[in-house]
Amino acid sequence: EKKEAYTKFLAFRGVSAQRCLDLLQDLVDLDYYSNVAAPKKHRLVKALIRLSGQAELHPRCFTLTSLLKEEKPVAGGSFGDVYKGKLGDQCVAVKMMRVFGESDIDALLKTFSREALIWRQLCHPNLLPFFGLYYFQERLCLVSPWMGNGHIREFLKKESYGIDRLLSLILDIALGVEHLHKEGIVHGDLKGENIFVTDSGRACIADFGLCSIITSISSIQFTSSTRTRGTTRYHAPELHRGEDNDRRSDIYALACVAYELLTGNRLFPELRTDGAVAIAVLNGRRPARSPSCWVRPHWIVFGACSKTAGKGSLQCAQWLAKS
């Protein structure tokens, strides 16, 4: 009976679907589900995402109005351009989907809507906030706070920081990943370019376009066969073997980010191609320890994250705190 009722629920369209989506989002936003009934919240979010995808609608509370944006983008990726804008008195980042042809529109709308849905459910100091959706000339935009310090790699190029400051930033990232995993979410593309630094100097994770929701029963993968599964240089061994992203792969990527921040180099800087990196990782190779910039307590960051990744749980925040 429950399965039949759920099938009927997913068949809602139009006004009925819109009302259900609005109600589900209102329920997810209740403090009760955030603080007491997390497993129930995960099921509600899963239902919200499935109905939204099939009905091609999203909760109305997502929609923003009266947003101004600059004419030229300040950055861009494979699926969208980023503009600086204004929402009231606040500077915002406006990520606008890039359309190359009519056939792209439906797929990109679904991609952006899914990212918005999962992003909207997250609230943590080390995760970039989501402000809402905005339509500009029929093109969907994701709106978030403007990060004037740029991503973390840009931030660290501007000034030299001591080991304590670097570990503080890594701890911020670890806490953000930990929260995602508690919410049943796998990021799937953790890297320096997807981590920003706030005005107060805290690190926060962004770009949830490759996220997946993991439950005890099943998972909703937000990736498709036409999309990459994150960035190869940050891939855990199991991803090179063709397995899906999970908590372990997030933690491995966190270890790669920690290594990058502490050494100033990407993982295996001597290897120029993704294929060479994949072979090295599959062969069990680990990055070289540099005596000039590492002391043993900080080398343990990479080791702790790598070892923890194999267990599928996140304990690196505690390791970092002890360091």
Nearest to 311 by CA among 267, 249, 253: 249
Instruction: List pLDDT tens digits, range 39-59.
Output: 788 888 889 999 999 999 999
Token pair recorded at residue 285:
């190779």
pLDDT at 80: 80
pLDDT at residue 216 above 60?
no
Average pLDDT value for residue range 184-212: 92
Residue 98 per-residue DSSP state: P
Q: Which helix (H) or strand (E) holds 35?
A: helix 31-35
End-to-end CA gap in the chain: 53
Higher pLDDT, 105 or 173: 173
> Which residue type, as a one-letter code, is found at position 40?
K
pTM, entire model: 0.85
3-state SS assignment for residue 289: coil
Token pair recorded at residue 157:
């190029």
| pLDDT level of residue 147 (50, 70, 90 thresholds) | very high
